Amino acid sequence: MSDKTSYLLDQKYINLETYRKSGKQVCTPVWFVVDKGTIYVITTKETGKVKRLQNNQNVKIAPCGFRGEIKGEWVSGTAKFAEKDEMENALKLRKKKYGLQARLVGSLVARKGGPVVIAISI
């Protein structure tokens, strides 16, 4: 486990800061998993964060609560869209970490065209 990501292991949410074309930041509290020093966030392709990441891969993250209240320091990183094998692994890890909640969300995501996995390196 990377020392850079170990501080996140006992957290349930991170606040993901992405950037509009204008440069204005947008913060979103999200579920996440960590594997081999990479942070994975699972969403759908129609979300604003996916559209923003297509234009700017720079992100910031911070541990947070359900409503986005910050519980730690902001850390800068770079995001990319995960490859198929990374995506499958991230989905398994999310099911393990979030249990029944992840299965319910997964079934809703399937109706919206399937998941997109964002891989964040800090």
Q: Whole-angstrom Cα distance, residue 53 to residue 73? A: 22
Pairing of strands 33-35, 13-19: unpaired
What is the residue-averaged pLDDT of the chain? 90
Backbone angles phi, psi at 68, to 5 degrees: 95, 5
Residue 119 has pLDDT above 70, yes or no: yes
Residue 99 has pLDDT above 90, yes or no: no
What's the CATH class of domain 6-121? mainly beta
Q: Whole-angstrom Cα distance, residue 87 to residue 42? A: 9
Single pTM value for the model: 0.90
Q: Which pLDDT band, with edges at 50, 70 and 90, does 1 fall under? A: very low
Residue 28 has pLDDT above 60, yes or no: yes
Mean pLDDT of the 73-82 span: 97
